[in-house]
Amino acid sequence: MYDYLIVGSGLFGSVFAYEARKNGKKVLVLERRLHVGGNVYCEKLENINIHKYGAHIFHTSDKKIWDYVNQFVEFNNYVNSPVANYKGELYNLPFNMNTFTKLWGIVTPNEAISKIEEQRAVIKEEPKNLEEQAISLVGMDIYRKLIKGYTEKQWGRSCTELPAFIIKRLPVRYTFDNNYFNDRYQGIPVGGYNKLIDALLDGIEVRTGVDYNESRAEYEGIAQKVVYTGPVDAYFDYKLGQLEYRGLRFETERLEEVNHQGVAVMNYTEREIPYTRIIEHKHFEFGTQPVTYVTKEYPANWQPGEEAYYPVNNECNQNLYRQYKALANDENGVIFGGRLAEYKYYDMDDVIASALKCVNDELV
Ligand code: FAD
Ligand code: UDP
């Protein structure tokens, strides 16, 4: 008999498994995919780590989480500084003095502030949706060139139907600083994310290619408790209806070039180009290989059974999630955790913090 049956080998499941085992618990991890790691998994091709499920940059302000991951793997000094490409015009991200000077030909922070003040004046009340929030943060020009098209293709909805919080993730700075994140600590694991996951799951029994929801009877009674990190609605067989997710499609190409775009992430912000970004993987690790791999990321409508990438946290889905959450709370012997089970737009550091809290509460 196992103490914990852990469904899903992403960061939540792997951190939980590691900590439980360290505390003498017997754990079994089930994973639907044919590999472990969830969305941070990388595939190595010609010595380049390909981020199979989209670009992943680790960043956190929490020293405890930084120290936690650093005990398993060293991190390099990569700083994410994506470039936005709007109809062939290039702008630095996040929105900072480099963006403002290129856009308006201005020089000083005060000039940038006045420009934005002038353009945001159309928003008079508390922003109710992403469009109003964006205009109120950075004004109309940036909204039109760098936000509207990107966001609408990313989410498949109009900016007026999206929650304001999505855009608040991005810093707005009146300094010449292209660091996409405000966090104190940032980097990519040296040798790739698989090293982190492999270290967490070292010595732990893992079965890949097993969908727990399809083979639940087989695993009934095998463990004292289940830790479920898959989609919460799938666990309950969608009985209250389906939560919406945003899907993605990745197209990866090998190019006989040393350096294709000069940056790891280039965002395509116009509506007409169907992909949102092109990732050139080698730049995450300062690669010097003679070839390169690039991946176009296409947002896609999501159907049940496909990989669920982003929860769509609008009001309607949040209401449905609250009902599933009530069912989850009543489910004896099952812990629901992680991005899919909590239907939350978690970053990696948030997921690790949440898994650590959860396992520590369990083990006291
Ligand atoms: P997941 O990684 O999704 O793991 C869940 C696992 O459970 C999966 O392996 C899945 O196959 C498995 N599973 C599901 N259902 C079942 C079942 N029924 N039976 C068995 N197994 C099952 N965060 C950052 O901090 N920085 C970034 O730059 C960043 N970029 C991102 C880019 C993209 C495109 C996406 C989608 C996310 C990004 N994130 C980023 C978020 C990050 O991926 C997540 O925070 C983290 O991976 C979540 O871990 P998790 O364990 O909760 O979920
Ligand atoms: N965003 C944008 N233009 C960009 C980059 C981001 O409008 O060039 C918006 C978009 O709405 C996106 C949100 O900012 O969903 C958050 O961006 P982030 O890069 O944090 O998204 P993620 O990496 O999670 O996809």
What's the CATH number where 341 sits? 3.40.50.720
Ligand 1 nearest-atom number relative to CA 40: 47
110: number of Cβ within 10 Å: 10
* pLDDT > 90? residue 176: yes
Please give the residue that has the higher pLDDT: either 364 or 3. 3
Looking at the domain assignment, is residue 172 inside a domain?
A: no
Residue in 348, 349, 354 to alter for ligand 1 test, most ligand atoms within 8 A of Cβ: 348
Q: Residue 315 has what pLDDT?
A: 87
Ligand 2, pocket-test mutation among 91, 142, 145, 154, most atoms within 8 A of CB: 154
Q: Answer whether residue 70 is part of any domain.
A: yes
Mean pLDDT taken over the chain: 97
**Can you give the pTM of this predicted structure?**
0.96
Give the number of whichever ligand sits closest to the CA of residue 309: 1
Same domain, 252 and 332: no
Tell me how far the alpha carbon of residue 304 lies from the centroid of ligand 2, in angstroms: 24
CA proximity to 11, closest of 362, 333, 289, 346 = 346
Q: What residues does ligand 1 touch, defined as CB less than 6 Å away?
A: 7-13, 30-33, 38-40, 54-58, 211-213, 229-230, 248, 309-310, 338-340, 346-349, 351
157 and 110 in a common domain: yes
Q: Which residues line ligand 2 (CB under 6 A)?
A: 84, 93, 146-147, 150-151, 154, 166-167, 169-170, 267, 269
Q: Residues 6 or more apart from 171 whose CB is under 8 A from it? A: 94, 95, 96, 180, 181, 182
Residues 135 and 13 in one domain: no
Q: Are 169 and 292 in contact (CB under 8 A)?
A: no
Residue 361 CA to ligand 2 centre (angstroms): 34
One domain for residues 216 and 346: yes
The rounded Å distance from CA 151 to ligand 2 centre is 7
The answer to whether residues 102 and 150 belong to one domain is yes
Residue nearest to atom 38 of ligand 1 (CA): 56
- Res 270 pLDDT > 90: yes
Q: Is the pLDDT assigned to residue 258 strictly greater than 90?
A: yes
Say if 252 falls within a structural domain: yes
| Helical segments of the chain, H only | 11-22, 63-70, 97-104, 109-120, 130-138, 140-142, 149-155, 193-200, 216-219, 232-235, 315-330, 348-363
Could you give the number of structural domains in the chain?
3
Which position has the higher pLDDT, 305 or 34? 34
- Nearest-atom index, ligand 1, CA of 211: 19
Residue 313 has what pLDDT? 83
Residues with active-site annotation: 169, 173, 246, 277, 297, 345, 347
Task: Let me know whether 101 and 239 are in one domain.
Answer: no
User: Is residue 72 located within the same domain as residue 101?
Assistant: no
205 part of a folded domain: yes
pLDDT at 364: 85
Boundary-marking domain end, from 108, 135, 166: 166
**pLDDT (average), residues 94-117:** 98
- Residue 282 Cα to ligand 2 middle (Å): 22
- Specify whether 290 is located in the same domain as 354: no
Whether residue 55 is contained in a domain is answered as yes
Is there a single domain that holds both residue 240 and residue 257? Answer: no
Tokens representing residue 53 in the block: 């499920």
* Residues 296 and 315 reside in one and the same domain: no
> For 76-92, what is the mean pLDDT?
98
Asked if 13 and 144 sit in the same domain, the reply is no
Residue 85: inside a domain: no
Domain assignment of residue 287, given as a range: 246-301
| DSSP assignment letter at 236 | T
* Inside any domain, residue 340: yes
Distance 210 CA to ligand 1 centre (A): 17
Residue 29 has pLDDT above 90, yes or no: yes
Q: Using the predicted structure, report yes or no on whether residue 154 has a pLDDT greater than 90.
A: yes
- In this structure, is residue 89 part of a structural domain? no
Question: Which of 39-48, 164-173, 313-322 is the most confident on average?
Answer: 39-48
Are 100 and 72 within one domain?
A: no
Atom of ligand 1 nearest to the CA of 56: 28
